[in-house]
Chain A
């Protein structure tokens, strides 16, 4: 029954999405309101349908309906309930369904919020988002159906998986137990990391659909940006949180003492984040000065194409990665979709551009201006994007062209990407102090005096305290400049308000209320500064050692040391066996606690997985891995990662900052709407 419910609801959702795309396009081209309304309602209906489909799949996972191939492949009778639920995104078919459900939900919310306010964009917005959903539903229904069941044909030795009864005499096959969730995914970081990333990917579809609606309808004023700024921020937030959680998962589970490995799949998530960050910055110029219209359009299309490219490379298995999905049949349809999107969207964009409809309202007035700083910011982010893109796909393309695959490892990224990020930090330190339109070097010099002096002071103190690597104190300097500038901007804003008699808290509150995107943005800058400090310290000053110990022996690393006390074996609820070591941790010779690094062995094949024991302080992470055990001798690998926790805490700050920037501002929005109602043809008026 659950399988049938899923088959019917996903089938109907596919039909609903396809009809919405067709009706929407017809209605928008012919200005036929009834068709547009039908398209809207049909698209809204996909959300409850897909919710039902997800619910029936989760119910099947919880109740152990192993005749369903997907349930069999990702759950097991004795698995904790929690993992039985999260198995929804534990493998390809379920995660595609979950992805489609998220898309339908995001689209439904966007339609309900913007239907009245963006009347002229909505027909095409519905059409484009319905087209994207149709494509993903085709994958779910025709290629990777999570509701396929096992059937036994008379005379056959093996059951076959099929959505429908393959022959009248075929009967359902009920396996006694399933295979269980991939051990690597049984971690809280992995539980939330995929939904976050999908939220980011899917969320980028909304601004993309609005941008395409603007291109298709010719409503090329800045309305589409106003409608999508918050969506872009939300999608960006999801992507950021997904990246940070993914890093945390790698740190805890993959057992190599690091959190970022320039793995193709990590890069796939980083790429749209980079272009999305560039977009969030450059739309500020369009909102304020009516410039970079064509560029912003290109950036959001590029972001969407990178989302599809990332999904394609993760799910088709085309690039070798530590955590890609198994190679599957959906590679070719995804690539065709990517090709259609690239040609269609960029073609439409180029057509509008060549007709001069995306021309700027203003020209760049001064070489040293806030506008030029934003443009530089965009070039830097695009530079990082191109470099990461090349690093990710270089093996593929060099092999195609020369028959010899060239792989680019961490050295490449350190040499190419790190300097670009350094330049971005420097820009973060300068750009907020540069005025709009034009400014002079002496004005900038005056504005930057205090942050620069603080930075130089900090670097000198660090050098005096023993930071001697030029790479380290240069990096700290660039990062600190960005941080001090953000703090200085807060200080100046608050001071100006306090001069009018406001108390410090009131002043800070009103500062945010007056310009959320600016001061929320500075908060995000501060978070990025904290993350940067964590990354530099934990990369430059990481220490590691590996030794084989008998009971009672110890390893020292920096000011920390560990003593191997004893080890035991245990069996967990879900049947995995664990080897657990008790390790005492000492800091400056003082006992501070006991940690338990362990090694788990999953299933009949005993797939091993190392779970680190960590002793965490704000100052450093003492990270102990159980590598191997023979008798009572154990090989430990120990890392001392200084300030690594700043990466996670910076992530939390970044989330808070994004909320501050995205928090709705009803008064201002009302004012904008009133202004727009008074000037209905803002397209002409906006020109000089």
Chain B
């Protein structure tokens, strides 16, 4: 807009430098994100501060089947699977089963409103700095990982899931013996 005056050569490099820097930044982000999805092997351990105060430590859950659900209050499909996840928690909560909702790129107020709206009772907390999301290299939300009793990733479910999908997977893993 400065061309109402004769010339302003100094501002020219600025108009070029900013877009180029943006492109370079996107390139780095793309390269970093291009590693494949984590789908097998030992599940990365993590500790997560929960919304209700406590802490969830994955390494303490060894011997149990663990369901890890990555979610966000802004994510439409997460809303559709919320009731399904509640039902899974109600079904298995008394058994050798643990469940954790890992909040992804969320803010606390919206997250709490989401949890209240759907009456979520299983432990949930926010993944500050997306540390856990990066360790599991998720591609988006929702994503669900099921960890077997030996602490290995047994199943990865990308996209919203349902009771009918989860229940047989968890039952089969619960039926496996714990290796000493």
A interface residues (Cβ-Cβ under 8 A, vs B): 250, 254-256, 261, 263, 291-295, 298, 305, 309, 312-313, 316-318, 320-324, 326-327, 331-332, 335, 338-339, 342-343, 346-347, 350, 353-354, 356, 358-360, 363-364, 375, 378-379, 393, 395-397, 399-400, 403-405, 407, 409-411, 546, 601, 605-610, 627-628, 635
- Which of B3, B29, B79 contacts A353, CB < 8 Å? B3
A400 and B130 contact, CB distance less than 8 A: no
If the complex has contacts A261-B74, A335-B26, A399-B130, are A359 and B16 also in contact, measured as CB distance less than 8 A? no
Residue B25, interface by CB 8 Å: yes
A322 to B159, CA, bound (A): 10
Identify which of residues 81-140 in chain B touch chain A, using a CB-to-CB cut-off of 8 Å. 81, 83-84, 104-107, 110, 117, 128-130, 139-140
B6 and A318 contact, CB distance less than 8 A: no
With a cutoff of 8 Å between Cβ atoms, the chain B residues found around residue A399 in the complex are: 29, 129-130
- Which of A326, A393, A395 contacts B105, CB < 8 Å? A395
With a cutoff of 8 Å between Cβ atoms, the chain B residues found around residue A293 in the complex are: 3
**Nearest-CB residue, chain A, relative to B75:** A322
Identify which of residues 41-99 in chain B touch chain A, using a CB-to-CB cut-off of 8 Å. 72, 74-77, 79-81, 83-84
**Nearest-CB residue, chain A, relative to B19:** A342
B15 and A346 contact, CB distance less than 8 A: yes
A375 to B76, CA, bound (A): 39
A338 to B27, CA, bound (A): 10
What are the 9 closest A-B residue pairs judged by CB atoms, nearest first? A407-B105, A294-B3, A342-B19, A254-B76, A350-B12, A628-B83, A339-B23, A322-B76, A404-B129
**25 CB-based A-B contacts, threshold 8 Å:** A255-B76, A255-B80, A291-B3, A293-B3, A298-B15, A312-B26, A323-B76, A327-B33, A327-B139, A346-B15, A353-B3, A353-B7, A354-B12, A363-B4, A378-B1, A397-B25, A399-B129, A400-B28, A404-B128, A405-B130, A409-B110, A410-B110, A605-B161, A606-B165, A608-B81
CB distance from B76 to the nearest CB of A (A): 4
Q: What does the 1/0 interface line of B5-37 toward A look like (CB < 8 Å)?
A: 111010011011001101111111110011000
Residue of B30, B83, B106 with most chain A CB atoms under a 10 A cut-off: B30
Residue B147, interface by CB 8 Å: no
A609 and B164 contact, CB distance less than 8 A: no
CB distance from B155 to the nearest CB of A (A): 13
Can you add 11 more A-B contacts, CB < 8 Å, to A295-B3, A378-B1?
A255-B80, A291-B3, A339-B23, A343-B16, A350-B15, A353-B12, A399-B129, A400-B28, A546-B117, A605-B165, A610-B80
B106 and A407 contact, CB distance less than 8 A: yes
CB distance from B173 to the nearest CB of A (A): 18
**Nearest-CB residue, chain B, relative to A340:** B23
With a cutoff of 8 Å between Cβ atoms, the chain A residues found around residue B4 in the complex are: 291-292, 360, 363-364
A396 to B130, CA, bound (A): 11
A441 to B42, CA, bound (A): 73
Residue B40, interface by CB 8 Å: no
With a cutoff of 8 Å between Cβ atoms, the chain A residues found around residue B79 in the complex are: 255-256
With a cutoff of 8 Å between Cβ atoms, the chain A residues found around residue B151 in the complex are: none
A397 to B27, CA, bound (A): 11
With a cutoff of 8 Å between Cβ atoms, the chain A residues found around residue B77 in the complex are: 322
B29 and A409 contact, CB distance less than 8 A: no
B74 and A350 contact, CB distance less than 8 A: no
CB distance from B88 to the nearest CB of A (A): 14
With a cutoff of 8 Å between Cβ atoms, the chain B residues found around residue A359 in the complex are: 3, 6-7
CB distance from A412 to the nearest CB of B (A): 10
A454 to B136, CA, bound (A): 59
CB distance from A388 to the nearest CB of B (A): 14
A360 to B1, CA, bound (A): 10
CB distance from A441 to the nearest CB of B (A): 22
With a cutoff of 8 Å between Cβ atoms, the chain A residues found around residue B164 in the complex are: 605-606
B1 and A292 contact, CB distance less than 8 A: yes
With a cutoff of 8 Å between Cβ atoms, the chain A residues found around residue B33 in the complex are: 317-318, 327
B105 and A320 contact, CB distance less than 8 A: yes
With a cutoff of 8 Å between Cβ atoms, the chain B residues found around residue A358 in the complex are: 3
A331 to B77, CA, bound (A): 24
B162 and A607 contact, CB distance less than 8 A: yes
With a cutoff of 8 Å between Cβ atoms, the chain B residues found around residue A321 in the complex are: 140
B107 and A411 contact, CB distance less than 8 A: yes
CB distance from A366 to the nearest CB of B (A): 12
**Nearest-CB residue, chain B, relative to A548:** B119
A250 to B26, CA, bound (A): 28
Residue B174, interface by CB 8 Å: no
CB distance from B74 to the nearest CB of A (A): 7
With a cutoff of 8 Å between Cβ atoms, the chain A residues found around residue B75 in the complex are: 322
With a cutoff of 8 Å between Cβ atoms, the chain A residues found around residue B72 in the complex are: 320
**Nearest-CB residue, chain A, relative to B107:** A409
A342 and B23 contact, CB distance less than 8 A: yes
With a cutoff of 8 Å between Cβ atoms, the chain B residues found around residue A635 in the complex are: 83
With a cutoff of 8 Å between Cβ atoms, the chain B residues found around residue A405 in the complex are: 105, 129-130
With a cutoff of 8 Å between Cβ atoms, the chain A residues found around residue B22 in the complex are: 309, 393
If the complex has contacts A409-B74, A606-B164, are A316 and B6 also in contact, measured as CB distance less than 8 A? no
Residue B141, interface by CB 8 Å: yes
CB distance from B68 to the nearest CB of A (A): 17
A489 to B12, CA, bound (A): 39
A347 and B16 contact, CB distance less than 8 A: yes
A635 to B75, CA, bound (A): 20
A322 to B140, CA, bound (A): 8
A241 to B2, CA, bound (A): 33
A478 to B110, CA, bound (A): 30
A339 and B20 contact, CB distance less than 8 A: yes
With a cutoff of 8 Å between Cβ atoms, the chain A residues found around residue B104 in the complex are: 320
**Nearest-CB residue, chain A, relative to B116:** A546
With a cutoff of 8 Å between Cβ atoms, the chain A residues found around residue B161 in the complex are: 605
- Which of A263, A323, A346 contacts B74, CB < 8 Å? A263
With a cutoff of 8 Å between Cβ atoms, the chain A residues found around residue B25 in the complex are: 396-397, 400
If the complex has contacts A411-B107, A628-B83, are A256 and B76 also in contact, measured as CB distance less than 8 A? yes
If the complex has contacts A292-B1, A320-B105, A322-B77, are A607 and B23 also in contact, measured as CB distance less than 8 A? no
**Nearest-CB residue, chain A, relative to B127:** A405
A356 to B83, CA, bound (A): 64
Residue of A343, A363, A407 with most chain B CB atoms under a 10 A cut-off: A407
A318 and B30 contact, CB distance less than 8 A: yes
With a cutoff of 8 Å between Cβ atoms, the chain B residues found around residue A295 in the complex are: 1-3
B23 and A338 contact, CB distance less than 8 A: yes
A354 and B129 contact, CB distance less than 8 A: no
A409 to B136, CA, bound (A): 24
Q: What does the 1/0 interface line of B136-161 toward A look like (CB < 8 Å)?
A: 00011100000000000000000111
CB distance from A601 to the nearest CB of B (A): 8
CB distance from A220 to the nearest CB of B (A): 12
CB distance from B47 to the nearest CB of A (A): 17
A255 to B82, CA, bound (A): 13
B20 and A343 contact, CB distance less than 8 A: yes
CB distance from B113 to the nearest CB of A (A): 11
A346 and B16 contact, CB distance less than 8 A: yes
**Nearest-CB residue, chain B, relative to A372:** B4
- Which of B2, B28, B129, B162 contacts A606, CB < 8 Å? B162
A316 to B74, CA, bound (A): 20
A359 to B159, CA, bound (A): 54
A261 to B79, CA, bound (A): 14
CB distance from A574 to the nearest CB of B (A): 18
With a cutoff of 8 Å between Cβ atoms, the chain A residues found around residue B7 in the complex are: 353-354, 356, 359
